[in-house]
Homo-oligomer: A and B are copies of this chain.
Amino acid sequence: MSENGAMADRTTVKVGLLGCGNVGASVARLVAEHDDLLAARAGVRIEIVRVAVRDLARDRDVPVSAERFTDDAESVVADPEVAVVVEVMGGIEPARSLVTSALKAGKPVVTGNKELLASRGVELFDAAAEAGVDLLFEASVGGGIPLIRPLRESLAGDRIRRVMGIVNGTTNYILTRMTEEGASFAAALAEAQALGYAEPDPTADVEGLDAAAKAAIIASIAFGAQVTVDDVHCEGITGITTDDIASARDLGYVVKLLAIAEGVDGEVAARVHPAMVPAHHPLASVRESFNALFIEGDAVGELMLYGRGAGGLPSASAVVGDLVDAAKNLASGGRGATIGRLERKRIRPIDDVESQFYVSMDVADRPGVLARISGAFGDHEVSILSMHQHGLGDEARLSFVTHRAREADLRATLRAVDDLEVVKTISSVLRVTGDDE
């Protein structure tokens, strides 16, 4: 790509690519196809000179010649010609060791590995800070949507209060089908699997684990805090029923799986759970497999970033955006938007987190029932915002929306309510968020 070898050293940033699956192959293609555009934007040419793969025999159909491939990833990181390392192999090891080696050797790293960052981010950010090199990871959350960069840079003059995200396309697709077609969870999941939106084993998506990893990264960046996936309270959508969806609609809400990161009194809370979101809220309009991050800041007010959260090409676009940044910084001698060391902050336990709640229960329809139930709420400091009765006699169901209450108090309330002989069964409990609380 450069005119001659001597020029290449000063005008080309040479890249080692670790992994050449869906995202990696798209990165190689984008870098080759848009080479002039990228050179104009980075101020230097960008060239992929080494590619590490597990299986050398597989044809990757990328514009990188065969002799540049190797199955020895360490040799790519160690290659003196390689100035920047792009890690898109996924998983914790050997990705962790390879990224660490690269950083320690003073080579900027671009990664899209959410699993790695969510579990070992602290040590990697420390290593990057120590070496004084860029560690960029826009592709790790929300595919091609610029989320990390705005959190780090555009909002640098602001204090972020809360970030709420729809960060898993599979579950959002399932909930959209349940909402718009009245499909059951099982039917919607089967449809998502048939379309390739859900894996044959959908656990990581539907149990909220994928979203929890992203919540840890978001909380880390938004609050500059050490948050790992183990700090994230996680509930999936397997318990969501068509009844829940219908009740939400009756009250003017839609059900979404949210990843929420909050800064409260110097502490950080991070959690993933389904929630009822007002139908007029911008997050409610995020349909199908799209992702979005809704950010609340002191100065900026409300902000939403929306787009395709997954897919080889959108994620590759984010990787290449980071790569341009790393190349530009390398060429200009500057530092990129490395976030620095993450602080140790107290993780607020889920018991102390406050939310509004929706609770519905089947009850015996007789005088005094409401007084006894609302008494149980009041005994535990949970204050009721609204109540609706549906059905009569044996079919009577009461539904409540509370004011903001501590999770622990709500659980104590539910135990007390469940013990009342007038209450047959608690049919649904969902958090409510996005109202003017």
A residues near B (Cβ < 8 Å) are: 26, 30-31, 34, 37-38, 40-43, 138, 144-146, 149-150, 152-159, 224, 280, 282, 285-287, 292, 297-308, 311, 313-314, 316-321, 323-325, 328-329, 332-335, 337, 340
Contact = CB atoms under 8 A, between A and B. Distances in A.
B335 A306 contact: no
B301 A308 contact: yes
- How many copies of the polypeptide does the oligomer hold? 2
Contacts of A292: 304
A317 B282 contact: no
Contacts of A324: 153, 156-157
A425 to B, nearest CB: 37
9 contacts: A43-B335, A144-B299, A144-B301, A157-B317, A282-B285, A300-B317, A301-B313, A301-B314, A332-B335
Which residue among A146, A297, A313 has the maximum number of chain B CB atoms within 10 Å of its CB?
A: A146
A26 B329 CA distance: 31
Contacts of A31: 157
Given A156-B321, A157-B319, A301-B307, 11 more contacts: A30-B299, A37-B159, A38-B156, A146-B303, A150-B150, A153-B321, A154-B321, A285-B285, A300-B313, A301-B308, A303-B306
Nearest to A330: B334
Given A299-B313, A301-B307, A158 B320 contact: yes
A298 B152 CA distance: 25
Counting from the closest, the 6 A-B pairs by CB-CB distance are: A334-B334, A157-B320, A146-B154, A299-B317, A144-B300, A285-B285
A395 to B, nearest CB: 35
Contacts of A152: 41
A276 B323 CA distance: 38
A144 B40 CA distance: 27
Nearest to A284: B285
Contacts of A319: 157
A286 B292 CA distance: 14
Contacts of A145: 300, 303
A303 B150 CA distance: 14
A300 B26 CA distance: 12
